[in-house]
Structure 1
Amino acid sequence: MFKALLIEKNEDLYQTRLTELDDSQLPEGDVTVRVEFSTLNYKDGLAISGRSPVVRRFPMVPGIDLAGVVEASNHTRYKTGDRVLLNGWGVGETHWGGLAQKAQLKGDWLIPLPDQLSARQAMAIGTAGYTAMLCLMALERHGLSPERGEVLVTGANGGVGSFAIALLARLGYSVTASTGRPAEADYLKQLGASTIIDRSELSNPGRPLAAERWAAAIDSVGSHTLANVCASTRADGTVAACGLAQGMDFPATVAPFILRGVSLLGINSVTRPHEERVAAWQRLCSELDLAQLDDITREIALSEAIDAANDLLDGKVRGRVVVDVNR
């Protein structure tokens, strides 16, 4: 038996509860992992609360991240005792995820846990840090370098935003952070932001073109914010879009793209190839100041995850939430 969060749906009743499950209930997979830590991401909050229909199959164990030790394997890449981590691949939506003491999954979804990281550190980084690195890598492929100018990070107090600021600042970029919580300015400056702006500057309907401000941006918000970010990006600048905290809509015009040559890059962290995942995590190990993880992260027990998920959606959580599934 193992403990897990379980989401069930019966007609109009949507419920998430902490329960015990039997190993025989685990879904199909060629690797069984004894989970040590998982996380709470925005998508996990939606799944646990039922506020958005992200779960595709029921019953479902949520949790799009996990790190732990291989307990059994029929996959050529892994053997018993190997330390592994996982991000994405529909885990927590279509396949049981990491908010449990045990998971059974496809070995192709896993990557080796880097030697430089503990399981807890890997989950402190999680999908948020991994996505921030994918954004940075995409911007670099399109020519971004520190001398090009300021980089804007929206949703700055969230997980992706926090890691984006930390990574950019450590690489020598000048970072502007957009946040709805100006009281957290000291936290954002500690991460490396040089300028703080209120999200209200970007979150309302704006002009097709605005004054040129940023050389590039990492946006996890979407909707009017993303439209205004594009409208304010300098000529030949680049915007990496990876989230929809404000909304899935994109009420913009083509003006920034055809009059200024702005590029909009979509970042899909869910189904990246194995080699790209490994490369992103290796860069995180070398370019992220691991000492900052304590400032970005707080740890909770599995039993606290349901309440924390609602706090996350209500904007009450700063940075990352790591879940110790064994307490």
Structure 2
Amino acid sequence: MRSLPELTAPVDPVAALTRIAWLLERDRQSTYRVEAFRKAARAAGEVGDDELRRRASARTLTDIRGVGKSTAAVIAEAVAGEVPGYLQQLQDTAPASLAEGGDDLYAALRGDLHAHTDWSDGGASLDEMASAAAVLGQEWLAITDHSPRLTVANGLSEERLTRQLDEIATLNDLLGDELRVLTGIEVDILDDGTLDQTDVMLDRLDVVTASVHSKLRMDSAPMTRRMVAAVCDPRVNVLGHCTGRRVVRGRGARPPSQFDAREVFSACAEHGTAVEINSRPERVDPPDELIELARDLGCLFAIDSDAHAPGQLDFKALGAHRAEEFGIEPERIVTTWTVDRVIDWAAGT
């Protein structure tokens, strides 16, 4: 089972702060708490090692904008050559896996077809997400930020998506063989089944994950037509979180959309569109019976994290556990494939 390798002394202060943020994200701690460590990591990186040592000696680390009392303590301990106590506590208490099974399948996963950055509603930059994926042993990562219509998630216009593609190309040059970042999008499936991005941009992307984010309570018949139209589009590679449900308690809960799952999944199987097993713990989507139906109809699957922060990339352990539980062979899971095979499949070649 792959997991984050434990950091030992000596540890770089920026690495210590970043790892704390990742472990807090993995544990689904508050965004405010996570962001405090991420901001401190960025601030420490800008200041540089020599200045950090000087300020640690003078006990003026909190004078650095973005560094508070708790993050200053982490920096001071790291500068002193120690593993910061808070980091060690998190490493000691972090579970080896987020799931109680599926270890073999999780280890076979090579990539992820659903991840977000701060270009839309994610909490981290492209390079932060790529760095975490590489540390977790992934070989490739698709960046799938939201499309324009989802304004609440800062969806990407054609112009912004074009700029992101340029940034990904630059990042891939820097990463070399360490990790391959694929260009992609989580494109909204509009009411009539068309896609919320221009044809020109969709044709430029390595992969397209398509999801319903609006009018989730649409009647079953039009919802079925909407989803079938999308998964039959040759540019769509993955059907994301198909029911849209949220299984958390209280106000965050949301019932599943109603549609003819047999008709939708049959179209997926016919057109080679993978059904996503969304690994976010508040989604558990598709429900068990729909995973079984998609399996029996011959669908491909994608075990995805739907990560909005680096530490959430490890959510795929939860999806792997579910896939293994329902006997889905690794060969049918596109996120176990090599990057070249994924690109060829996505292109229809």
Whether the TM-score (by the shorter chain) exceeds 0.5 is no
Whose radius of gyration is greater, 1 or 2?
A: 2
TM-score by length of 2: 0.29
Higher normalized strand content (fraction of residues) = 1
